[in-house]
């Protein structure tokens, strides 16, 4: 018997990757919903949907991710990143649904310069980061069967992201200034979605028991770079003759503070699930091939 999977936030870059990758047969059957089909801020509406479709797994890709705009739209960020997550987790708990939720490296914002483990102190320093952390805490408090995957620097062939912005700006300018003093690991949303689907497939097949493995995990592509390095790699791989000039963060002011170091340790993920994680530059090349 197929297990029913609900993917919320289906029109975002991660949600669209799940739509592209979702198997058409096998152990899993998928339901995709955006905010027009399902308002996840409404507990009763979510509970009805889970019951009607006998959902077994819920993958929450819905999030308010406009980091700078969140400083002026704190209520909206709170509603999507906190209130919706609480309602979703509570409804999932009531119906025995495993919740998969995604979070961010921004919650660890500090001067640490070595990879962050899942138990590292959290120090959110923006509305976006604070609301994502609150959502994480409520998801785990409301539903004991929740897996949170904190990730960083997400991009895709879908939606709006740094990689696509660089390609667009390169058509308009001969050179670009990009910060070199923010360090992290890019994450190709396709790789993240593929990894999650593999875990759900194994669980549905009885090969692992995800409900016994609830908690926080990190996932980003392997390797480390700066935003400057990432921009350089985009243009090199696409053969675009756009000059990239390194600048410091202080020369590119923004409404929200960015973490200076966002490298996440993936040892817990790899040890627990036994999955390999692709190198960031290889994944970037795969994404650029689609663009």
The catalytic residue positions are: 128
In this structure, what are the phi and psi dihedrals at residue 134, rounded to the nearest 5 degrees? -60, -40
Cα dihedral value 133, 129, 187, 255, nearest 10? 170
Chain centre to alpha carbon of residue 238: 25
Separation between Cα atoms, residue 30 and residue 14, nearest integer Å: 15
Ramachandran sector of residue 9 (left: φ over 0; alpha: ψ -120 to 50; beta: rest): left
- Judge whether 131 and 64 are in contact, CB under 8 Å: yes
Helices 189-204, 13-21: crossing angle, 10 deg rounding: 50
| Cβ proximity of 231 and 72 under 8 Å | no
Residues 38 and 8 sit within 8 Å (Cβ to Cβ):
yes
Torsion of CA 145, 16, 18, 93, to 10 degrees: 20
* Sign, CA torsion 166/218/109/135: positive
- Between helix 162-170 and helix 227-238 the angle, nearest 10°, is 60
CA-based nearest residue to 283, from 124, 153, 166, 167:
153
Angle between helices 280-290 and 162-170 (to 10 degrees): 60
> Are the C-beta atoms of residues 124 and 106 closer than 8 Å to each other?
yes
């Amino acid at each position: 018997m197929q297990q029913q999977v609900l993917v919320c936030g289906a029109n975002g870059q991660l949600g669209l990757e799940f739509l592209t990758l979702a198997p058409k047969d096998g152990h899993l059957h998928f339901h995709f919903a955006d905010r027009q089909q399902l308002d996840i801020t409404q507990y009763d509406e979510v509970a009805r949907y889970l019951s009607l479709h006998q959902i077994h797994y819920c993958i929450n890709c819905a999030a308010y991710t406009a980091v700078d705009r969140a400083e002026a739209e704190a209520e909206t960020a709170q509603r999507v990143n906190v209130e919706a997550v609480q309602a979703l987790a509570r409804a999932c708990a009531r119906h025995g649904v495993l919740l998969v939720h995604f979070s961010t490296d921004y919650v660890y914002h500090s001067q640490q310069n070595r990879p962050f483990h899942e138990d590292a102190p959290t120090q959110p320093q923006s509305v976006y980061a604070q609301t994502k952390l609150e959502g994480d805490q409520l998801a785990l408090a409301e539903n004991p069967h929740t897996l949170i995957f904190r990730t960083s620097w997400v991009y895709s062939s879908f939606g709006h992201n740094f990689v696509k912005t660089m390609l667009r700006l390169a058509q308009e300018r001969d050179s670009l200034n990009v910060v070199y003093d923010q360090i992290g690991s890019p994450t190709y949303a396709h790789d993240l979605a593929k990894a999650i689907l593999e875990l759900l497939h194994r669980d549905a097949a009885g090969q692992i028991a995800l409900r016994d493995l609830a908690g926080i995990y990190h996932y980003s592509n392997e390797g480390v770079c700066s935003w400057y390095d990432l921009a350089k790699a985009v243009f090199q791989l696409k053969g675009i003759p756009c000059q990239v000039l390194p600048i410091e963060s202080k020369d590119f002011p923004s409404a929200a503070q960015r973490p200076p170091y966002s490298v996440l340790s993936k040892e817990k993920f790899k040890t627990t699930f036994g999955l390999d994680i692709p190198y960031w530059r290889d994944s970037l090349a795969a994404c650029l091939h689609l663009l």
